Structure 1
Amino acid sequence: MASLQMFIFALLLVYSQSVPTQFSKPGCPEKCGNLTIPYPFGIGKECYFDDEFEISCNSSTHVASLPALGGLNIQKISQENIVVDAFNLPFLFNKTTGENLDGPLLGEIDRSHYNYSNTQNKLVSFGCDTFAYIQDYSSRQIVSECATFCNDGNNSSFSDLGHCEADLISHPGKQFRAWMHTMNTPKKLWKGRDCNFLFIVEKDFSVYEKIDFTNCEKVYVFPLALDWAISNTTCSDGNVICGENAECIDHNGERGYSCECKQGYTGNPYLPSGCKDTQGKIKA
């Protein structure tokens, strides 16, 4: 009996290794270029959960984008978040008064499934004698902050330009304001510059060599991480899409819920049979 079980185990092991893990909905495109498209995201009708998860794949460039977020290009999709290309501009200052000419940078997501990620993003600032911070739009709570200093406000090289980075200490939700203020230090070094720089970027991304510190009009496209979830319902509602051998996890506030494969299983928890056994269990 034991030898029979071992034989069956060996067959199951070979079978499990030969069957690729299914991430997209059956019959739907699995990739756009090198990007894997896991359900509830999808390319083409009937391939995504709802319109906010629709993926557009450019047939010429093989670049994926999200129509629900204004066509932002997608760099990566994971079970918790997506990384998209977001636009950034320098902050312009009145060199006499130090007044910020642009007002705050406003960030807003008007889609229910997405939020700015606090764990996967960071605040990055470059300038001379400036204070940069991110503020939750509704509560006015400070989400992140840091200050920059430098020895020579007229030098535009990175080596002599003040630089700071900071984690996001709380969740900015769907709306935030990002500010830069000049600081009245004795030298007022901000007078030597026409603009300073503030970016909210994916935490592993380095911006140093990508900035032209002499150009105050250049638009930058840098990666930004967004958390995603199934919104407008909770696990207790009984109308969730988590598949077999997956569990439902509620999120705070308006974030809704997400699905995860149970311990000992791996795969896509949003597909009906997406979570596969990784422990080689055999019924006696």
Structure 2
Amino acid sequence: MWVFLLMMVSLLLCPVAESTASADVKPGCQDKCGDVSVPYPFGIGEPTCAMNEDFILNCSSGADGQPELFFRRNMPARNISVLEGTISASLYTAFACYDKNGSWTDYFSQSFNLGSGPFTLSDTRNAFTVIGCDTYAGMTNYEFTYGAACLSLCTENVNMSDENPCSGSGCCQTSIPKGLKSLYYPLSSFFNYTNVSDFNLCGFAFLVDKNSFKISDWPLSLKPKYGNNAYTADIVIEWVVENKTCEQAKADNTSAYACGTNANCTYPEIGQGYRCSCNEGFEGNPYLQEGCQDIDECKVRGKNACEEGTCENVIGDYKCRCPRGKYGDGKIGCKGPGINTIIAGN
């Protein structure tokens, strides 16, 4: 009787264990916070779940009381990509508002620092953006080794349409350099909005992912909101596992080489550190020891796998075996008359 009950309990528990297992995290580690997946080398809370302390993220209650993932204490993380080596996070927008007499009514400047770890702001995905008709915003890094500015002017209301580019009239955008880790950007005005007060009393400045930016979301009549409804913009942060070359990482006995089995070491375009990617013919998480698994190309490609012959999966690749009586590579086409033609000829 007891044996039967134990077998029933085991059968009931097995599907639950399988459904909660994740191929992207270490065993026993939390794989999601809210609706955001957290793949290794990142980990939630426990140091043993992340590659090192740089990759530990915090999952706590957000503004609406629901679980929210945070990067660098106060930056909500929206998405983590192992393939691209990126994190999407959100930041409050900076703003400055005036009344019709030209007096300040609201003001907020933004600053943030990614620290000394393996994180930098993406120079290809982000753009510094300014909205307003009498708005000037400068930006510098904390080390004061970089500086730029954006000026947005207009004398009449501009239709902020997605079909119109951010051209300097009501909206200005400028790029950022590679390797930037910190930014500070306050706003100012030349005429305190007195010349445009009928349709524009506030200016905004923010760094934003160009892929998510919609200029139609920023009409010139917009005024700031606060608390849970405050305006934010998504930014893209790039990461590497270590600020070393592949050769240095493999030779360094003081730290573990990050790439698992069937994975290779690659250099990102940001020009520092290294990342890992699965070898051709494999897929999965290259930072886990057994994270890169063989792709069954015969299943994935289906009928398109072979030009001729029978598909056979092999580790890291696949073969197309030609029909009897033919020879060559069935991926591109077999040669020879074939067994049916030979029999018919006899």
State the match for 1:25 in structure 2.
Answer: 26
**Does residue 1:50 correspond to 2:52, yes or no?**
yes
Listed as ranges, the matches of 1:19-168 within 5 Å are 22-45=23-46, 46-58=48-60, 61-66=66-71, 69-79=72-82, 80-92=85-97, 105-132=110-137, 134-136=139-141, 138-142=144-148, 145=150, 147-151=152-156, 162-166=169-173, 168=175
State the match for 1:195 in structure 2.
Answer: 202
Q: CA RMSD in A?
A: 4.0
Q: From the superposition, tell whether residues 58 and 139 of structure 1 become closer, same or farther in structure 2 (CA, over 3 Å).
A: closer
**Equivalent of 2:214, from 196, 200, 206?**
206
TM-score, L = length of structure 1: 0.70
- Give 1:274 shift: 1.0
State the match for 1:235 in structure 2.
Answer: 246
Deviations 1:197-256 (A, max 9, x none): 112122213364367846357442332221122234332222421111212234588953
Distance 2:259 2:89 in 1: 25
Count, aligned residues: 255
- Give 1:22 shift: 1.3
- Give 1:39 shift: 0.1
- Give 1:108 shift: 2.2
Q: From the superposition, tell whether residues 102 and 30 of structure 1 become closer, same or farther in structure 2 (CA, over 3 Å).
A: closer
Q: From the superposition, tell whether residues 166 and 261 of structure 1 become closer, same or farther in structure 2 (CA, over 3 Å).
A: farther
State the match for 2:8 in structure 1.
Answer: none
State the match for 2:9 in structure 1.
Answer: none
**Does residue 1:226 correspond to 2:237, yes or no?**
yes
Give unmatched runs, 5+ long, in structure 1: 1-19
State the match for 2:183 in structure 1.
Answer: 176
- Give 1:272 shift: 0.6
Describe the SS at the equivalent of 2:67: coil
Give unmatched runs, 5+ long, in structure 2: 1-20, 162-167, 251-255, 298-312, 320-346
**Does residue 1:268 correspond to 2:270, yes or no?**
no
- Give 1:41 shift: 0.8
Describe the SS at the equivalent of 2:152: strand
Amino acid at match of 1:72: M
Amino acid at match of 1:206: K
Describe the SS at the equivalent of 1:52: helix
Deviations 1:150-174 (A, max 9, x none): 415xx9x968x94325352522611
Distance 1:181 1:64 in 2: 33
Distance 2:35 2:78 in 1: 10
Q: From the superposition, tell whether residues 43 and 102 of structure 1 become closer, same or farther in structure 2 (CA, over 3 Å).
A: closer
TM-score, L = length of structure 2: 0.59
Q: From the superposition, tell whether residues 213 and 109 of structure 1 become closer, same or farther in structure 2 (CA, over 3 Å).
A: farther
State the match for 1:244 in structure 2.
Answer: 261
Report the identity percentage.
25
Describe the SS at the equivalent of 2:29: coil
Which structure has more relative contact order (CA 8 Å, sep 6+)? It is: 1
Distance 2:182 2:279 in 1: 33
Distance 2:22 2:260 in 1: 14
